[in-house]
Chains A and B, each alone.
Chain A
Amino acid sequence: MRRRVYDRIVQIILIAIASMMALFLIYLVGYIIGSGIRGFSFGFLTRAPSGITQTGGVWPMIASSMYLIGLTLLIAVPLGVGGGIYLAEYAGQGRIVETIRFAVDILSSVPSIVFGLFGLALFVQFFGLKYSMLSGALTLTLMVLPLLLKISEESFRAVPVTYREASLALGATKDQTIFRIILPTALPAVFTGVLLSAGRAFGETAAVLYTAGLSPTTPVFPLDGGRTLSTHLYLLATTGKIEESFKVAMVLLVVILVFNVLSNVVISRFRRRFIKEAR
């Protein structure tokens, strides 16, 4: 009889923990969005902040964040997706490839503040790129590269072997098969990796603090500095501008939610397609 009571208790505890986590998330999201939406207008997104308090608008920060994400993806996507193709389609199990895989694992674990330090030392100072979009993007590239590599490799491996066989049987070369058949098929799954990387880059603060800089201006050229939205939230929240912080935090959360929903939709489409074809 004791084991049945035990079973029941464990079940109740597990349900309690899961509900607690769900409630926590709902509370966090609800509280921030609920508070942020008060007094929110779209002008907030399109205005520049004003005065010494630097409040009232976040357009330069949105511009900096988008600029930074765009530039990062421009550099990181070819490298990450290309590398993913290599790891999935060409790489064997030699020593070089093993070393690269190990390096990718280590790179994925490097704390973001260390990326920031490194970016400061190499890009900002050694290469003289100053606090700039380019310095930030190069730093973020290294940071999101492991994620992109991993997801791309998995996406290519998920393409059914019959596709390759059919293409090769028709006389296509290996390179042709990869770029005309496999790449287009795997693209939706690769795209989720791109979305996740963009989300990562968007929320990142420690790595861009001392590479992209703090200047609340709208960047035009890659060598212009700028303050991202997440950096802005850090500066606002630690200087006691709570009301403004709520608005910025809300914008951050909403964007992250959209990224998440979008990547889930894309990946589930991708999966459904292959399940259908397997039948």
Chain B
Amino acid sequence: MGHYQKSSTRSLNNGTAYLKMRKMSLVELVLFLFTLTSLVGLVLIFLFVIKESLPIFLKVGPLPFLFGSIWQPTAGKFGLLPLLLSSLILVAGSIILAGPLGVALAIFMVEYAPSYVRIGLKTLVELLAGIPSVVYGFFGIIVIIPLVRNVVGGSGFGLIPGILVLTVMIIPTVTAVAADAIRVVPKENRLIIFALGGTRWQSVYRGVLPAATRGIFTGIILAEGRAIGETMAVLMVLGNAPLLPRTLNQPASALPSQIALDMAYASGDHRTALFGIGLLLLIFSALFISLARRVARSAA
């Protein structure tokens, strides 16, 4: 795309940073500094979260902190295992549901739907992505929890509504990324199958999907990243009991929601432990996005 001066920029960047600074105009320098805020911000986030969480790792030790099975801050017990397991169950459960649904929606949008339906579905996905997570949480409280209570019994709060709410929230991510990946598959891939007498589904299954696999996985990984960090909606439906999850139909507490729940009053070790959870989340999401980047890149 429009790079009338790409070659000059390239040669510039092949030089040293020192040379580059000298050739910058004032405008360029200012804009560069603006761009730099993201990097500085990210570094600050890591620094502060690490600094604030360091005491808990030193005091309790990384392994007992991560895998201790009791979270009872008032009793001085900081074991993350109940939260960690609940979070993993939430991520796994929601991706098992949202993965196939999201990909199916993407396939339908790109390969089957007439253009006016496609535009409608695109708006639908954008809207689903735009609805605030507190609204999803509220919807969970008024609709999903009574439903769970009636169908499986118990209070209704717990992992099941958590998974369901998360599923709806991450479908847009899966669908948007998968649809992009499907859209860029060359039209020849479909024509080859059609010309051999294939059905539409065969053209999708044999011609399109194999070429879009990496993009689809990128979408799923990004969605998992979103699911692990989602806070408010999960906080509102989980029941917030930091217990080891034994069944799906029990109150639980997840990593991000525990932070939101306790931060209001936490102090001392409890506070540093919450920053420890924050660090864990930061690492998880950084891993997910790096993985997604790697998968997306190897496609090229």
Contacts and interface: CB of A to CB of B under 8 A. Distances in A.
Interface of A: 3-4, 6-7, 10-11, 13-15, 17-18, 21-22, 24-25, 28-29, 31-32, 78-79, 82-83, 85-87, 90-94, 96-97, 99-100, 102-118, 120-122, 126, 142, 145-146, 149, 157-161, 164-165, 168, 174-175, 178-179, 199, 202-206, 209-210, 230-231, 233-234, 237-238, 242, 245, 249, 252-253, 256-257, 259-260, 264
B135 A233 contact: yes
Interface string B127-159: 110111111011101110000000000000000
Counting chain B CB atoms within 10 Å of each CB, the highest count among A18, A97, A104, A157 belongs to A18
Contacts of B171: 21
Contact of B124 (A11, A25, A118, A142): A25
For chain B, which range describes its interface: under 10, 10 to 19, 20 to 34, or 35 or more residues?
Answer: 35 or more
A139 B41 CA distance: 10
Contacts of A253: 131, 135
A256 B131 contact: yes
Contacts, number: 272
B236 A105 contact: no
B48 interface: yes
A117 B259 contact: yes
Contacts of B109: 18
Contacts of B20: 94
B281 interface: yes
B199 interface: yes
A91 B8 CA distance: 11
A82 B4 contact: no
Contacts of B232: 205-206, 234
Nearest to B107: A14
A121 B50 CA distance: 11
Nearest to A87: B35
A113 B127 contact: no
Given A86-B32, A106-B290, 6 more contacts: A24-B168, A90-B31, A110-B45, A113-B259, A179-B27, A203-B133
Interface string B100-114: 010011011100110
Contacts of B229: 109-114
A203 B139 contact: no
B231 A111 contact: yes
Interface in B16-35: 17, 20, 25, 27-28, 30-32, 34-35
B68 to A, nearest CB: 21
Contacts of A256: 127, 130-132
B71 interface: no
Given A22-B121, A105-B289, A118 B44 contact: yes
B289 A3 contact: no
B125 to A, nearest CB: 8
A103 B203 CA distance: 39
A14 B34 contact: no
